[in-house]
Structure 1
């Protein structure tokens, strides 16, 4: 019975970490889109978003017409090691679009 409870606890903790990583990716994409739309330098925007995003996530910016799109993608691996190493990582991704701000 105890091994089942431990496995269930590990699975729930992993599920929680995946959810939190997704929320961080959404926040990072939103912040990157806003900052880029305000005209901040791409390197600064990507650096700021990288600090918000989950570890190892990739941040990209794309300008099209009068909008900027920020994308954050990454993955969350299983907790611990040993037998859990054979479990595939879960991909996370987020995207935010903002209108480029100009002079009023």
Structure 2
């Protein structure tokens, strides 16, 4: 949870909420992708298309292949949809092969 959520919990009587910093470096992300349009252009996703992002470790425990399978079924009915994985891990080669 973020610092603002932690402060809100304290304001509502929770004495010692545990602050878990976000694992994503938002500053680096902002520097590399200045806007939604820039991100879509960089990734080759048309502005009018529906895009879904999956952020996380590409590991069997996280099961990104299940997300890909579900998206493949969805895309049969919605061919203008795009799926973007953000992360790395041992399942990356399998995901790239199926892309």
- Using the size of structure 1 for normalisation, the TM-score is 0.25
- Using the size of structure 2 for normalisation, the TM-score is 0.26
Relative contact order, higher structure (CA 8 A, sep 6+): 1
Structure with the higher fraction of residues in helix conformation: 1
Structure with the higher fraction of residues in strand conformation: 1
